[in-house]
């Protein structure tokens, strides 16, 4: 069994000394356990947080422990009720070829799922994040304007497409012309603004003539700076992620603008609400799975993934994702 363990807590961006590849004997399942062969490993921004021991909503990965990660796996052998050899499952098997499980938190996908790896994206955690964050916190009403950052990523792409289904005017924000073209041409957003291009704040303003009613926050930093003055009275802001800050080692220099933000929240009576998907909305999973499954099947929600071949390439692929190199959902295919 090959596995990546956390070798060192990174300062700033993770590098090739952060994780270490180790090999061990195949684990033997005990009573009430099953052995899973990981087929796909999800790469997600939250993994940077688990490498750090800064205070968070969940404990960090210990030094020397297997790196955590969502997986799609096949059951090799099982002594767990409801799971049989050959079943495909959605699990948290981590960065390794094989994992043991007692079935807690594992979802059985049957023996012939159509696109098994999509359970790591639009039909899984990122999809639930998008759907629940937008509908429960965003409280969308047809005709309103929705702006979503990180628009080409699995969460942002799904948020915007749901927004279109619900009758909103949807503007994405993404890095680069290629991502923006995909967001408009394939995903069907009304517009997408490149935050790396000159004149970004002005271009965003021009794209939202009626202001912004819902801002789905995935990135923070300079993107939020441009959004803030455009927010309407009673705007809702699901605070989902701040990827622009995950590799930061300190707060940015500059004047303290905390009271500017608080004043804006007060005068415009805005609602900002952070959420942690499974803690806050895990109970909605069955409703989400039914709804999103139907939308995907009907072609109303498009999905694109990039498959990286080989567990050994996972650390570089995650480092690249944190630098904006991923075009859409990144997964690692473990077996040939
Ligand atoms: P993404 O694929 O969107 O994340 C990678 C993308 O983020 C990159 O391709 C890049 O796109 C963008 N990015 C990277 N660095 C920066 C930067 N400095 N400034 C702006 N954008 C940057 O990931 P997901 O769709 O999986 O997740 C989106 C967000 O949602 C993340 O912040 C994640 O942590 C959060 N999340 C939160 C959950 C929760 O429970 N609260 C659950 C799941 C996700 P580009 O080239 O366009 O910049």
Interface pTM (ipTM) of the complex?
0.97
Angle at 145 between CA 160 and CA 300, to 5 degrees: 30
pLDDT of residue 252: 84
pLDDT of residue 124: 96
* Nearest-atom index, ligand 1, CA of 126: 43
Give 231's strand partners.
212
The ranges of the chain with pLDDT < 70 are 336
CA 148 centroid distance within chain: 13
pLDDT of residue 55: 85
Rounded to 10°, the helix 285-297/154-165 angle is 80
Q: Is 252 exposed, middle or buried (0-12, 13-18, 19+ CB in 10 A)?
A: exposed
Q: Does ligand 1 have an atom closer than 6 angstroms to the CB of 240?
A: yes
How far, in Å, is the centroid of ligand 1 from the Cα of 305?
A: 15
The residue to mutate among 219, 247, 318, having the most atoms of ligand 1 within 8 angstroms of its beta carbon, is: 219
The residue to mutate among 215, 243, 249, having the most atoms of ligand 1 within 8 angstroms of its beta carbon, is: 243
How far, in Å, is the centroid of ligand 1 from the Cα of 125?
A: 13
8 Å CB contact between 192 and 151? yes
Task: Give the integer Cα–Cα distance in Å for 55 and 179.
Answer: 33
Instruction: Give tens-digit pLDDT for 133-161.
Output: 999 999 999 999 999 999 999 999 999 99
Task: Give the integer Cα–Cα distance in Å for 261 and 258.
Answer: 5
Place of tokens 């009275």: 233
Domains in the chain with CATH codes? 2-120+304-333 (3.90.180.10), 125-278 (3.40.50.720)
Residue nearest to atom 4 of ligand 1 (CA): 153
Q: Does ligand 1 have an atom closer than 6 angstroms to the CB of 156?
A: yes
Q: Is 60 exposed, middle or buried (0-12, 13-18, 19+ CB in 10 A)?
A: middle
Residue nearest to atom 10 of ligand 1 (CA): 324
Q: Does ligand 1 have an atom closer than 6 angstroms to the CB of 70?
A: no
Q: How many helices and strands (H and E) does the chain possess?
A: 10, 15
Task: Give the integer Cα–Cα distance in Å for 281 and 277.
Answer: 5
Q: Is 307 exposed, middle or buried (0-12, 13-18, 19+ CB in 10 A)?
A: exposed
Indicate the pTM of the whole model.
0.95
Q: Does ligand 1 have an atom closer than 6 angstroms to the CB of 44?
A: yes
**Nearest residue to 74 via CA among 99, 94, 95:** 99
**Nearest residue to 73 via CA among 83, 59, 82, 60:** 83
How far, in Å, is the centroid of ligand 1 from the Cα of 94?
A: 20
Q: Does ligand 1 have an atom closer than 6 angstroms to the CB of 277?
A: yes
For residue 14 the two structure tokens come to 């993770």
Q: Does ligand 1 have an atom closer than 6 angstroms to the CB of 170?
A: no
CA 20 centroid distance within chain: 24
Q: Does ligand 1 have an atom closer than 6 angstroms to the CB of 129?
A: yes
8 Å CB contact between 213 and 145? yes
Q: Is 264 helix (H, G, I), strand (E, B) or coil?
A: helix
How far, in Å, is the centroid of ligand 1 from the Cα of 153?
A: 6
How far, in Å, is the centroid of ligand 1 from the Cα of 81?
A: 37
pLDDT of residue 65: 97
> Radius of gyration (Cα) for the chain, nearest Å?
20
* Nearest-atom index, ligand 1, CA of 240: 41
Measured in degrees and rounded to the nearest 5, phi and psi for residue 167 equal: 85, 25
Give 4's strand partners.
21
């Amino acid at each position: 069994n090959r596995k990546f363990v956390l070798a060192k807590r990174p300062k700033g961006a993770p590098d090739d000394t952060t994780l270490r590849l180790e090999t061990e004997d195949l684990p033997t399942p005990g009573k009430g356990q099953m052995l899973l062969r990981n087929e796909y490993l999800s790469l997600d921004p939250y993994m940077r947080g688990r490498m750090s021991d800064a205070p968070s909503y969940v404990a960090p990965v210990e030094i020397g422990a297997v790196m955590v990660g969502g997986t799609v796996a096949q059951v090799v052998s099982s002594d767990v009720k409801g799971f049989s050899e050959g079943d495909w499952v959605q699990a948290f098997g981590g960065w390794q070829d094989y994992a043991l499980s007692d079935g807690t938190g594992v979802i059985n996908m049957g023996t012939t799922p159509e696109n098994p790896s999509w359970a790591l994206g639009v039909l899984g955690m990122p999809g639930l994040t998008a759907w629940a964050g937008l509908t429960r916190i965003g409280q969308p009403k047809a005709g309103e304007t929705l702006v979503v950052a990180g628009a080409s990523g699995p969460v942002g792409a799904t948020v915007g497409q749901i927004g279109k289904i619900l009758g909103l005017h949807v503007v994405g924000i993404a890095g680069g012309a290629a991502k923006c073209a995909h967001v408009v041409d394939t995903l069907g957003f009304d517009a997408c603004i490149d935050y790396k291009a000159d004149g970004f704040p002005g271009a965003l303003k021009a794209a939202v003539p009626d202001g912004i009613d819902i801002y789905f926050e995935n990135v923070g930093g300079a993107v939020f700076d441009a959004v803030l003055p455009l927010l309407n009275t009673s705007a809702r802001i699901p605070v989902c992620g701040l990827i622009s800050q995950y590799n930061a080692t300190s707060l940015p220099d500059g004047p303290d603008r905390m009271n500017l933000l608080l004043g804006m929240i007060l005068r415009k009576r805005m609602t900002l609400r952070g959420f942690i998907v499974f803690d806050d909305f895990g109970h909605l999973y069955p409703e989400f799975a039914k709804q999103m499954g139907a939308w995907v099947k009907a072609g109303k929600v498009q999905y694109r993934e990039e498959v990286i071949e080989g567990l050994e390439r996972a650390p570089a692929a995650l480092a690249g994702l944190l630098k904006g190199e991923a075009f859409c959902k990144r997964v690692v295919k473990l077996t040939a």
